[in-house]
Amino acid sequence: MPDPSPIFRFAPSPTGALHLGNGFSALYSFAAAQATQAAGGRFLLRVEDIDQGRCRPEYEAAMLADLAWLGLVWETPVRRQSEHMADYAAALATLDDAGLIYPCFCTRKQIAREIAAAPSAPHGPDGARYPGTCRNLSKSARKDKIAAGTPYALRLDSAAAAARVAANLTWHDRGKGIQTCRPTAHGDVVLARKDTPTSYHLAVTVDDALQGVSCVTRGMDLFAASHVHRLLQALLDLPTPEYDHHRLLLDDEGSRLAKRQGSISLADMRAAGTDPVALRRDLGFEF
Ligand code: GLU
């Protein structure tokens, strides 16, 4: 059997206009796929639209138009996460059967209060970790709260999960080499949100596996998230892709570009008459 084709993906969330940093990320992945064309390299676009409160169809349409303007070509149909909730539910059921998830009824305010009150709240790569309040609720307390209609998220019991997997899970990052997974680094992450029955960590891990992604390219801001993804791969018996976390583009003040900060959008650049070929070259991509 020949090796399967290398598969790369760009996986944006349609929560606003794409900015130059998103464009860089998309081009990075596309160029990686192009570089493996002789081996059948493929490029996928995935719409990460689980946050139905923030994602909008018009953002998605604009996003596709911006990427086409940049010169990207992707396979169709595009996978839209909101259409695949059954896949995430199946993964949750596997983790539930193994006793590795629990309902969490805490509100953001309660969590913040608990963290502020703790003398030395444990911190992970993204700040203070969830203090574990609901992990210790009794079965009957959980039942009562659910029966009363209290909204809940599902969290991974990271300590129990760590005990379940090999001690030395690793993955390879193209820039940083072999990495060793720290399964509890992020604590008990949310795998299903109160408002949607999955989460970024769960959906991205399941999708990368289902789509056969062989190399996950994305920004350095998501480097630490790979600890969670590697752990989930081990728990769900999914393959581990290679990773390639690229540099982030910074603005003149040295802050990273962000949709929420109103960084200049690709649509603005297009409207201002920017030449996409020159833009690609300025960003370091020749194709
Ligand atoms: N959807 C994520 C974002 O827009 C990226 C996911 C990933 O590449 O792992 O930030």
Q: Lowest mean pLDDT of 1-15, 38-52, 61-75, 195-209, name the range.
A: 1-15
- C-alpha 275 – ligand 1 centre gap (Å): 26
- C-alpha 142 – ligand 1 centre gap (Å): 32
Q: Tell me how far apart the 2 most distant CA atoms of the chain are, in Å.
A: 63
pLDDT of 251 reads 78
Gap between the terminal Cα atoms of the chain: 31
* Mean pLDDT within 244-264: 80
pLDDT of 127 reads 86
pLDDT of 261 reads 66
| Residue 141 in this model has a pLDDT that exceeds 90 | yes
pLDDT of 64 reads 97
| Residue 258 in this model has a pLDDT that exceeds 90 | no
2 falls in which pLDDT band (50, 70, 90)? Answer: low
106 falls in which pLDDT band (50, 70, 90)? Answer: very high
Nearest atom in ligand 1 to 219's CA: 8
Average pLDDT, the chain: 95
* Mean pLDDT within 248-277: 84
> What is the tens place of the pLDDT at every residue in 70-103?
999 999 999 999 999 999 999 999 999 999 999 9
Structure tokens at 121: 């709240």
Sheet holding 79-80, edge to edge: 79-80, 42-47, 7-10, 215-219, 242-246, 170-173, 177-180
> Secondary structure of 264-281 in the HEC alphabet?
CEHHHHHHCCCCHHHHHH
- Pocket residues: Cβ below 6 A from ligand 1: 11-13, 48, 204, 218, 222
Mutation to probe ligand 1, out of 9, 13, 208 (largest number of atoms < 8 A from CB): 13
pLDDT of 262 reads 66
> What is the tens place of the pLDDT at every residue in 229-250?
999 999 999 999 999 999 999 8
Mutation to probe ligand 1, out of 218, 221, 257 (largest number of atoms < 8 A from CB): 218
pLDDT of 125 reads 87
> What is the tens place of the pLDDT at every residue in 152-201?
999 999 999 999 999 999 999 999 999 999 999 999 999 999 999 999 99
